[in-house]
Amino acid sequence: MDYEIQAVQEQIAKESRILVPLKTEIGKVIIGQEDMINKILIGLLSNGHILIEGVPGLAKTLTVSTLARALSTEFKRIQFTPDMLPADLIGTMIYNQKTGGFQVKKGPIFSSIILADEINRAPAKTQSALLEAMQERQVTIGDKTFRLDSTFLVIATQNPIEHHGTYPLPEAQIDRFMMKIKLDYPSKEEEHAILKIHGSGSPPEVSPVLSKKDLERARSVVHTIYMDEKIERYIVDIAFASRNPEEYELAEIQDLVSYGVSPRASLHLKMASKANAFLNGRGYVIPDDVRDVGYDILRHRLILTYEAQAEDITTEDVIEKIFMGVEVP
């Protein structure tokens, strides 16, 4: 077993180097926001969709478009609006006068990386069409079903401070996102660097440095990363602590949580932990990997009670108590 882990470790150390030039290219344009970039790369490696929440002007859209330019894959940016229809997203059947029949006109969702800008501005039917494609990785137009690209990934953004003309995502649909990343303002030094780079009038050029084959190979390597059964049980304990806190001596959060996280959260915790180990050049998962991705995996899946909301208790507060209460292997 030790020999196998050593072999995986050597392969991971070699394969993880492909991310160095990718981070370098992104760093030409994006100053700071290192945590967001790492989490997006984790989603990319895990084939898990991402929801980014932050006030306007924090480079959410710029980061995703820069990532797409650094990857040799197709990219589409879709600006969601209140009058958007499902057909505007997935496509529709159009009548061809020459042939006298209907033919499929594919929508922008047929791409590798989709940036769903301000997803909460679209009405429920359009959101549902996108989220169905995310889950099934296929789209049905008329009587024909089309498989989406093998590297298909949705990165959605939403603005938390503006509620006029928005349609919040239901809990059952938001659960399909692997991670929800929350952004904060840059530091004073980072904002000064932003002024220097983006205030010059000539934005930096970004070159494609990672091919579709490279990405698919990296994803397959992530699956080989070793996770001990103790770490798997640690992940299960975290999920169960959110559902039955009294069993983990966490009575203090029992009246704060209406619904704990779903089994999908456990699966995503496992995959994201492996991807985090890959980013750190390790062929095995440690508890710190689980904690590093835990907040982003769990924050949108915990449903708090009215009492918790009245006391201004956040999901992050509850997650912190869970991590403190669950025994680390």
Which homologous superfamily does the CATH classification assign to the domain defined by 21-216? P-loop containing nucleotide triphosphate hydrolases (3.40.50.300)
Q: Which residues of the chain have pLDDT under 70?
A: 1-5, 162-167, 199-201
pTM of the model: 0.88
Quick one: three-class SS letters along the chain?
Answer: CHHHHHHHHHHHHHHHHHHHHHHHHHHHHCCCCHHHHHHHHHHHHHCCCEEEECCCCCCHHHHHHHHHHHEECCEEEEECCCCCCHHHHHEEEEEECCCCEEEEEECCCCCCEEEEECHHHCCHHHHHHHHHHHHHCEEEECCEEEECCCCCEEEEEECCCCCCCCCCCCHHHHCCCCEEEECCCCCHHHHHHHHHHHCCCCCCCCCCCEEHHHHHHHHHHHHCCECCHHHHHHHHHHHHHHHCHHHHCCHHHCCCEEECCCHHHHHHHHHHHHHHHHHCCCCECCHHHHHHHHHHHHCCCCEECHHHHHCCCCHHHHHHHHHHHCCCC
Residue 162 confidence (pLDDT): 65
Residue 323 confidence (pLDDT): 93
Residue 165 confidence (pLDDT): 59
- How confident is the model over 142-160, as pLDDT tens digits? 788 889 888 888 999 888 7
Residue 236 confidence (pLDDT): 95
Residue 289 confidence (pLDDT): 95
- How confident is the model over 98-122, as pLDDT tens digits? 777 778 888 889 888 889 888 888 8
Residue 17 confidence (pLDDT): 83
Instruction: Show me where the domains of the chain are located.
Output: 21-216, 225-325
User: Spelled out in words, what is the top-level CATH class assigned to the domain 225-325?
Assistant: mainly alpha
